[in-house]
Amino acid sequence: MLAYIVRRIALMVPTVIGIMLVSFAVVQFAPGGPVERVIAELTGQGTSATARISGGGGDFGGMQQSAPGGDPVSSKYRGAQGLDPAFIKDLEKQFGFDRPAHERFLKMMWDYVSFDFGRSYFRDVSVIDLIAEKMPVSISLGLWMTLITYAISIPLGIAKAVRDGSRFDVWTSAVIIVGYAIPSFLFAILLIILFAGGSFFSWFPLRGLTSENWDQLSLGGKILDYFWHLALPITSMVLGAFATMALLTKNSFLDEIRKQYVVTARMKGLSERAVLYRHVFRNAMLIIIAGFPGAFVAAFFSGSLLIETIFSLDGLGLLGFESVLNRDYPVVFANLFIFSLVGLVVNLISDLTYTWVDPRIDFDTRDV
């Protein structure tokens, strides 16, 4: 097992480098960039980070033909005509664009080895401090969504498998289908209308992770206030997630229940509970564990973007989205690096959990 872990960790290095390299190369051809954003703000042409710049891409946005006698530096950027070329060069140096792309990439990866992510282009704060500031929201949403989803889905899926075809199975399937069909953001809006002062009740807060008087609350008050703010966002996120996981659990248990070893265990006189939880559970849970890394990473990093926006929760999902729009490349690449690294580590932990659930699995006998 140790050799397998070492091989997996060794493979993480080229995997992360490959992800970062592809993403870095794509950015070079994306229209617009931080230099163009500064120029647009200075010249009053607009501050929208989503405004597309006509012409070619790259870090320097659209390339234009310079007018006769025009400065070649200013002509690189739309709207830069009339600005001091020395100022443009200072902007390029400030953002690091005065060096070739390969040098910028190598320096970025060298800094990332020591988890030095630099500073945000437009927020005047270190990227690691910015991520740490947003982390509590994403941890809260991702962790509680994953735990509640599994806590609901696994018992429900087992109950549906045991009672396959019964009235309980039929009406719970109807509820699951409805839950799966409603997007989480629509359900979030419905919850706001019903319970957050939209049109009916004002039982829950509409924004933030804590109340303004958080520091004045007791420990028990802080815990209650924390979950009071999380109730609606977590409920809206769990709806679609538990539906998928419950059906996956049911189908997995049904497949195992119909196998020959279950019939043999029953013939030996074992109770249904012993058969279900001593034999079937271990094998059926493998596919559930296999889906855990993807569910966790999606909920933790990307699955909460719309929910964060609707409930005014300033987390990593909203930070990453805004950073892409604003071409804040240090924040974009730092998020990507951390997300990729965490995803690979969680996948390794998932594989190790396989051996805990079923000791018959031996990864040392297979190729990585």
Residue with more model confidence, 212 or 129? 129
Residues 36 and 170 in one domain: no
In a domain, 24, yes or no: no
- Domain end, chosen from 89, 114, 139, is at 114
Q: Which residue has the higher pLDDT, 57 or 349?
A: 349
CA torsion sign for 61, 63, 67, 68 is positive
Residues 318, 245 within the same domain: yes
Domain for residue 18, yes or no?
no
Contact assessment for residue 208 and residue 310, using Cβ atoms and an 8 Å cutoff: no
Q: What is the DSSP string of 111-161?
A: HHHTT---B-TTT-SBHHHHHHHHHHHHHHHHHHHHHHHHHHHHHHHHHHH
Residue 53 — pLDDT band, cuts 50, 70, 90? very low
Domain edge (last residue) among 82, 114, 146: 114
pLDDT band at 79 (very low <50, low <70, confident <90, very high): low
Tens-digit pLDDT profile for residues 175-230:
888 878 888 888 888 888 888 876 677 888 877 788 888 888 888 888 898 889 88
Length of the chain: 368
Token output for 189: 């809006």
Indicate if the pLDDT at residue 56 is higher than 60. Answer: no
Integer Cα distance of 292 and 146 in angstroms: 9
Could you tell me what percent of the chain has a pLDDT over 70?
Answer: 79
Q: Please report, as a single letter, which amino acid is at residue 258.
A: R
One domain, residues 65 and 203: no
Residue 343, classed as helix, strand or coil, is helix
Structural domain range at position 98: 31-114
166 belongs to a structural domain: yes
In this structure, are 282 and 178 located in the same domain?
Answer: yes
Q: Which one, of 238, 244, 281, 234, lies nearest residue 261 by Cα?
A: 281
The answer on 359 and 228 residing in a single domain is yes
Cα–Cα dist 323/49, whole Å: 9
Structure confidence by residue, pLDDT tens digits, 298-357 = 666 655 678 888 888 888 878 888 888 888 888 889 988 988 888 888 878 777 777 776
In this structure, how many other beta carbons lie within 10 angstroms of the beta carbon of residue 167?
A: 8
Sequence letter at residue 59: D
Plot region of 312 (φ>0 → left; ψ -120 to 50 → alpha; else → beta): left
Counting the structural domains of the chain, the total is 2
- How many DSSP H helices and E strands does the chain contain? 15, 0
Per-residue pLDDT at 21: 92
Residue 302 β-bridge partners: none
Residue 21 lies in a domain: no
Q: What are the pLDDT digits (tens) for 245-266?
A: 888 888 888 888 888 888 888 8
Q: Is residue 209 part of a domain?
A: yes
- Please tell me the pTM assigned to this model: 0.71
Residues 82, 209, single domain; the answer is no
Residue 278 in domain: yes
Closest by CA position to 19, among listed 115, 112, 147:
112
| 289 and 358 part of one domain | yes
Query: Residue 324: inside a domain, yes or no?
Result: yes
Residues 152 and 281 in one domain: yes
Q: Contact, 162 vs 155, CB < 8 A? A: no
In a domain, 181, yes or no: yes
Lowest mean pLDDT among 26-30, 68-72, 364-368: 68-72
Final residue in a domain of this structure, among 84, 114, 144: 114
Q: 353 and 232, same structural domain? A: yes
Residues facing residue 126 across a β-bridge = 119
* Domain of residue 263, CATH code: 1.10.3720.10
What type of residue sits at position 46? G
Same domain flag for 153 and 50: no
| DSSP codes of every residue in 276-326 | IIIIIHHHHHHHHHHTHHHHHHIIIIITTHHHHHHTT---HHHHHHHHHHT
State whether 85 and 37 are in the same domain.
yes
Give whole-number Cα distances, 137 to 192, 240, 354, in Å.
19, 20, 30
In one-letter notation, the amino acid at residue 63 is M
Distance CA 204, CA 191 (A): 10
**Judgement on whether residues 182 and 318 belong to the same structural domain of the protein:** yes
